C-alpha cells in the first residue's frame, strides 16, 4: 500500500471521526480515487463538508457587528466591536485598523484587506496592521485575550488566552471556552472589515501566527469569504503530537480529550477550506511538529502551497518575504510563488517538477532521522539537488529518514517547498 494511500486514509478517517464499516470502505475508496486522480491531473478535489456539530452560528457571525471607534487619529485607528457572550455577559473586542487612507496616502476605494490573528502571549499589534497598510492593504488586527490598548483588561472583555481558558474549561459551556470566542471574534472582525467603504470585500486575506495559525486553520474552513488563508506555524492533530500533548491533554480524561478534539482541533475544519491555503512553518518548531503539520496540510483539498524552512524561528515575526509574496499572488495578482510537485522516489533517486514564473536558483533535499516527538531537537541534513529546467532530481533520502521534503529558492530569494513527506516510522 502506498504512503499516499496510507496517509490519505488516516486523514480522512480522523476528519470524519467515523468507524470503518462496509459503507465507509466504499466511500473511502471513491474519495481516495478522486483525490489521487485530482492530484495527478493537477485538479483540486472538492472540499470536505463541515462537521454537523458546529459550535458557532456562522450566519450570525457573518453579519456586521455593532462597533464604535475608539480613536480615529494618527496612522493606526482603534475600534471596539461586539463579541460573543462570556459567562452570561456581553463582550466587546478591541482591534487596530490601518489602511493607505489612515496613513495619509489617500487612494481610491476598493483596496484589498487582510485579517491579522496574533498568537499566544500576543495582542492586537498596531505595527502589524501598519506594516500591511504601507503595502496597500486595509488591515485589522484584533485582540483575542479580552484586552484593549496597552494589554489592559477590558471591563467587558472575553476570556484570557492562558492554558486554563484553552484547555481547562472543556467541561464548561461553549461560551466559557477560548477557542469558541477566538474563532468567532476573527470571523466578526472579518465581517467588520468587509463593511468599510474603502475595502474590496472580494479581496481579503487571512493570516495568523502560532495560536493565530491554529485559528487561521479553523477559520479557513468555517468562513468561505476569504480569498486566501496563510497559517504560520499552527496546525491540527494537537493531541497526537504538539507542545500540549503530554501536559494539557495528559491531564484530560479520554472523553474530555475526545470532546476537545471534536470541538476545537483544526483537523475538524480545515478540510472544508475552499480558498487557496499557504502553509509556512519551520522544521524544528517546538509547538507544531512536522507529523501533525503534514497530516493537517493533507486534509486541504483546495489549492495549496508550502514554505517549510530550516530551523525557522518561532515568534511574532511579521516580515518574512514569503508572507507578502503569497498574499500578493492571490490578492493583487502578483507573480506566483514557485509550486513544487509531490516528490517521487524511484531506484534510489528523488525527483519532482517545479512550476515557476521566476528563475529557480537552487533546490535542496532536506531530511531527518529523528523521532517526531523530538521535533524541536531533530538535526537535519541538506543535500543539493540538480535543477534542469522544470525538473529537479538527485539522490533519494536514506531509508531511515522519518521526515523529508524538497525546497527551491527563486531569484527573489523566496523559499517554497514540496509537501512534507512522512515515513511510517518515527
Checking if the pLDDT of 11 tops 90, the result is no
Please name which of 365, 343, 368 lies closest in space to residue 354, comparing C-alpha atoms. 343
**HSE on the CB side for 100, CA within 13 Å?**
14
Using 50, 70 and 90 to split pLDDT, how confident is the model at 424?
low
- Answer positive or negative: Cα dihedral of 56, 58, 59, 63: positive
Per-residue pLDDT tens digits for 79-122: 999 999 999 999 999 999 999 999 998 777 899 999 999 999 99
Region 35-48 average pLDDT: 57
Q: Residue 200 has what pLDDT?
A: 97
Checking if the pLDDT of 7 tops 50, the result is no
Per-residue pLDDT tens digits for 130-187: 999 999 999 999 999 999 998 999 999 999 999 999 999 999 999 999 999 999 999 9
Region 377-383 average pLDDT: 94
Whole-prediction pTM value? 0.89
Distances (CA, A) of 412 to 305, 325, 328: 17, 10, 14
Packed helices 178-195 and 254-264: angle between N→C axes, nearest 10 degrees:
10
Cell output for 393: 532530481
Region 282-311 average pLDDT: 95
Checking if the pLDDT of 3 tops 60, the result is no
Task: Write down the mean pLDDT value for the chain.
Answer: 90
Q: Residue 14 has what pLDDT?
A: 36
- Per-residue burial over 363-392, b if 16 or more Cβ lie within 10 Å, else e, is bbbbbbbbebeebbebeeeebebebeeeeb
Amino acid at each position: 500500500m502506498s504512503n499516499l494511500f496510507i496517509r490519505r486514509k488516516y486523514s480522512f478517517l480522523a476528519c470524519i471521526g467515523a468507524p470503518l464499516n462496509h459503507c465507509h470502505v466504499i466511500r473511502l475508496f471513491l474519495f481516495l480515487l478522486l483525490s489521487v486522480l485530482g492530484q495527478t491531473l493537477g485538479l483540486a478535489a472538492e472540499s470536505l463538508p463541515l462537521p454537523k456539530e458546529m459550535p458557532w452560528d456562522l450566519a450570525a457571525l457573518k453579519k456586521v457587528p455593532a462597533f464604535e471607534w475608539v480613536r480615529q487619529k494618527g496612522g493606526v485607528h482603534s475600534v471596539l466591536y461586539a463579541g460573543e457572550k462570556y459567562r452570561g455577559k456581553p463582550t466587546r473586542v478591541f482591534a487596530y485598523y490601518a489602511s493607505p487612507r489612515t496613513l495619509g496616502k489617500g487612494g481610491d476605494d476598493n483596496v484589498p484587506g487582510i485579517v491579522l490573528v496574533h498568537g499566544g502571549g500576543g495582542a492586537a499589534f498596531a505595527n502589524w496592521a501598519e506594516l500591511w497598510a504601507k503595502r496597500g492593504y486595509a488591515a485589522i488586527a484584533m485582540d483575542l485575550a479580552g484586552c484593549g490598548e496597552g494589554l489592559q483588561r477590558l471591563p467587558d472583555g472575553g476570556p484570557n488566552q492562558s492554558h486554563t481558558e484553552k484547555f481547562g474549561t472543556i467541561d464548561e459551556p461553549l461560551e466559557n471556552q477560548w477557542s469558541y470566542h477566538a474563532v468567532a471574534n476573527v470571523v466578526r472582525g472579518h465581517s467588520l472589515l468587509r463593511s468599510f467603504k474603502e475595502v474590496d470585500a472580494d479581496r481579503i486575506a487571512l493570516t495568523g501566527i502560532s495560536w493565530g495559525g491554529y485559528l487561521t486553520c479553523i477559520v479557513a474552513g468555517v468562513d468561505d469569504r476569504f480569498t486566501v488563508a496563510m497559517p504560520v506555524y499552527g496546525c491540527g492533530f494537537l493531541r497526537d503530537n504538539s507542545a500540549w500533548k503530554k501536559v494539557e491533554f495528559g491531564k484530560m480524561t479520554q472523553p474530555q480529550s475526545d470532546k476537545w478534539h471534536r470541538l476545537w482541533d483544526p483537523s475538524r475544519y480545515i478540510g472544508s477550506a475552499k480558498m487557496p491555503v499557504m502553509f509556512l512553518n519551520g522544521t524544528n518548531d517546538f509547538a507544531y511538529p512536522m507529523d501533525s503539520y503534514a497530516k493537517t496540510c493533507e486534509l486541504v483539498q483546495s489549492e495549496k502551497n508550502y514554505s517549510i524552512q530550516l530551523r525557522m524561528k518561532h515568534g511574532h515575526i511579521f516580515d518574512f518575504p514569503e508572507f507578502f509574496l503569497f498574499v500578493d499572488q492571490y490578492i493583487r495578482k502578483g507573480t506566483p510563488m514557485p509550486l513544487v510537485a509531490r516528490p517521487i522516489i524511484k531506484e534510489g533517486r528523488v525527483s519532482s517538477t517545479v512550476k515557476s514564473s521566476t528563475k529557480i536558483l537552487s533546490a535542496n533535499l532536506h531530511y531527518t532521522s529523528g523521532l517526531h516527538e523530538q521535533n524541536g531537537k531533530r538535526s537535519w541534513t541538506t543535500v543539493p539537488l540538480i535543477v534542469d529546467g522544470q525538473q529537479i532530481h538527485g539522490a533519494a533520502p536514506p531509508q531511515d529518514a522519518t521526515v523529508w521534503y524538497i525546497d527551491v529558492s527563486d531569484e527573489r530569494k523566496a523559499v517554497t517547498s514540496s509537501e512534507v513527506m512522512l515515513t511510517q516510522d518515527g
